[in-house]
Amino acid sequence: MSHGGTTESADIFQILADEYARRILLAADNGPKTAKTLSEECDASLTTIYRRVSTLQEHDLIEERHTVDSDGSHRSEFETALEELHVDITDGQLSLTIETRDELADNFTSLWSDLRGGE
């Protein structure tokens, strides 16, 4: 996903400038976490966690997974989708390139398929 000088690039920079958003991305990079766990690990209120997670989801930087516990209760867990972020400055323009885990998995699958002869 490439963001060359667009409003969305500015939005991504704003999101990453937020300390709580960065804490959430880092905490959720170690595997799926519930909002409560993120709240404890990031030293933030649940309201702050849900607001930041919503913003991160809007920009495909975090994924939500729904699970069912053994007692039948449903819960959401969040995991970082961001794998790599590259900023390039060329001819006075900022360019932002983001790679998510899904894109990397798709690239690997495509490469594997090509190696196997497109089966």
Per DSSP, what are the bridge partners of residue 90? Answer: 93
pLDDT in tens, 49-65: 999 999 999 999 999 99
> Tokens 């937020």 sit at which residue?
18
More reliable by pLDDT, 99 or 38: 38
pLDDT in tens, 16-48: 999 999 999 999 998 999 999 999 999 999 999
The C-alpha angle 82, 16, 77, rounded to 5 degrees, equals: 50
Q: Is the pLDDT of residue 94 over 70?
A: yes
